[in-house]
């Protein structure tokens, strides 16, 4: 890769495995190439003018060498700059060294062209080593003729010294530019890696967000709609059984089915709106629990007692904490309906010694082993409680009933 191509690829590499895109805009790169062409034309024009105005016997040889250099630049050097063709670059540099050798031998005053030749070497060289070799070749070509003339005593020893100084400056400039480009490429690779890592992290966050949203929807559906539909199914079965012998009781069950269905519809609309329970829309947590206990007793026929004496009105719960406690009571009662085979249920809510607010749901049913039982409802309830800094505790044993405690910190 030429120094010019490295200049274009010194920044963030684009996708696809290329070395990189230009640090300049396309317009900036075109301007850079245009400046290079203009500088070549200007220096060669000055050399031609100097040759024509000077009294030198080898004018034809000098003009021929300059003409060959112009043709070589137009057919080899300029295309090599834009196409990164190393064969053309090598051929042009060979012509450049030959032309400089002829000019230095015949007319050393034209060696001001070295100010153009040295930068061209580093612009076309594919590596530092190649740049050093061509710089050395140019230095020898520019020094050999004046040195021979000086040894023969025909010219003063001035041109070679200037050439050596120019060569030293060219090498220093080439090494510095190459080092800058290498550091730029290293930064480019680092930036690309950072951008790739950032994209991977963003994708991971998106996937995590999607998974969290799915879990939240699953909890909401389980804690609201699924429980409501379970109540409707149980009530419908009870009404169907009572219809032949007790139409009045069946009608009461049908009315209760309608009530539960309407509340389920309201819950569905609330979920779409803001995931806030309908029971807390225009009432306190105490009132919501009272309605929950009353409806549970009507649905199941079980004696259901609610104790809220220990709950103060200014306990300082946030809406999120109230939702956790209400959902906890709903989940515990749903498990009583499905699994407990209980004869009585007690709900109790109060403030603990450490300031936390707790909801307890106790039943005298068949009980179970909490370590062996894994349910979606309790797992989702634990997730809810942890989000607000709370916890869920389940105490039960086969034949000894169950007590579910949901607690959240109060301010």
What is the tens place of the pLDDT at every residue in 81-121? 777 778 888 898 899 888 888 888 888 888 788 888 888 88
For 372-398, the pLDDT digits (tens) are: 766 667 777 888 888 888 899 899 888
Judged by DSSP in three states, 167 sits in helix
Vertex 210 angle, CA 208 and 212, to 5°: 65
**Rg over CA atoms, the chain:** 45
CA distance 327 to 323: 6
Give the per-residue pLDDT at 271.
Answer: 63
Vertex 400 angle, CA 397 and 402, to 5°: 70
Query: What mean pLDDT comes out for the span 328-349?
Result: 86
Vertex 136 angle, CA 132 and 140, to 5°: 175
Which class for 125: exposed (0-12), middle (13-18), buried (19 or more C-beta within 10 A)?
Answer: buried
Give the per-residue pLDDT at 71.
Answer: 92
Q: What is the mean pLDDT of the chain?
A: 77
User: How do strand 304-310 and strand 345-351 relate by DSSP bridges?
Assistant: parallel
Residue 59's H or E segment, with its range, is helix 59-72
pTM confidence score: 0.43
CA distance 343 to 222: 25
Q: Which residue has the tokens 């009662």?
A: 333
For residue 39, CA distances in Å to 5, 76, 126, 375 come to 19, 17, 22, 81
DSSP string, 258-287: HHHHHHHHHHHHHHHHTS--GGGSSS-HHH
Q: Check: CB of residue 3 under 8 Å from CB of residue 174.
A: yes
Q: Using the predicted structure, report yes or no on whether residue 347 has a pLDDT greater than 50.
A: yes
Q: Which residue has the higher pLDDT, 278 or 242?
A: 242
Q: Which two tokens stand for residue 381?
A: 């309830």
Beta strands in 269-397 (DSSP E): 304-310, 345-351, 356-363, 391-396
Residue 355's H or E segment, with its range, is none
Judged by DSSP in three states, 391 sits in strand
The confidence band for 301, taking pLDDT boundaries of 50, 70 and 90, is: confident
Which class for 49: exposed (0-12), middle (13-18), buried (19 or more C-beta within 10 A)?
Answer: exposed
CA distance 11 to 28: 14
CA distance 220 to 267: 9
CA distance 211 to 383: 14
Q: Check: CB of residue 392 under 8 Å from CB of residue 325.
A: no
Nearest to 97 by CA among 64, 139, 160: 139
Give the per-residue pLDDT at 345.
Answer: 92
Give the per-residue pLDDT at 279.
Answer: 58
């Amino acid at each position: 890769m030429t120094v010019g191509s490295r200049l274009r690829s010194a920044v963030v590499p684009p996708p696809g495995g290329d070395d990189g895109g230009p640090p300049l805009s396309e317009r900036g790169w075109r301007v850079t190439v245009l400046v290079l062409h203009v500088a070549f034309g200007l220096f060669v024009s000055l050399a031609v003018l100097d040759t024509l105005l000077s009294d030198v016997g080898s004018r034809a040889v000098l003009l021929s060498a300059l003409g060959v250099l112009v043709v070589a630049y137009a057919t080899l050097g300029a295309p090599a700059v834009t196409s990164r063709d190393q064969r053309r670059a090598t051929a042009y540099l060979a012509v450049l060294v030959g032309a400089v050798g002829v000019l230095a031998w015949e007319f050393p005053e034209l060696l001001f062209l070295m100010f153009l030749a040295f930068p061209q070497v580093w612009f076309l060289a594919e590596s530092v080593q190649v740049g050093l070799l061509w710089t050395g070749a140019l230095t020898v070509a520019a020094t050999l003729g004046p040195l021979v003339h000086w040894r023969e005593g025909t010219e003063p020893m001035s041109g070679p010294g200037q050439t050596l100084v120019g060569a030293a400056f060219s090498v220093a400039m080439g090494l510095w530019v190459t080092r800058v480009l290498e550091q730029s490429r290293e930064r480019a690779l680092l930036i690309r890696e950072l951008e790739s890592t950032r994209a991977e992290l963003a994708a991971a966050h998106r996937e995590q967000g999607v998974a969290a949203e799915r879990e939240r929807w699953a909890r909401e559906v389980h804690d609201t709609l699924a429980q409501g539909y379970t109540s409707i199914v149980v009530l419908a079965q009870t009404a169907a059984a009572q219809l032949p012998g007790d139409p009045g009781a069946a009608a009461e069950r049908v009315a209760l089915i309608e009530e539960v269905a309407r509340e389920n519809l309201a819950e569905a609309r609330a979920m779409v709106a803001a995931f806030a329970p309908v029971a807390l829309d225009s009432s306190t947590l105490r009132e919501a629990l009272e309605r929950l206990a009353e409806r549970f007793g009507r649905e199941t026929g079980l004696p259901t007692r609610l104790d809220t004496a220990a709950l103060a009105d200014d306990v300082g719960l946030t809406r999120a904490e109230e939702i956790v406690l209400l959902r906890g009571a709903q989940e515990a009662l749903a498990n009583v309906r499905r699994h407990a085979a209980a004869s009585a249920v007690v709900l109790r809510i109060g403030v603990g010694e450490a300031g936390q607010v707790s909801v307890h749901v106790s039943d005298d049913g068949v009980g179970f082993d909490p370590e062996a039982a894994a349910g979606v409802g309790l797992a989702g309830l634990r997730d809810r409680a942890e989000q607000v800094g709370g916890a869920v505790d389940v105490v039960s044993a086969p034949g000894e009933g169950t007590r579910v405690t949901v607690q959240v910190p109060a301010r």
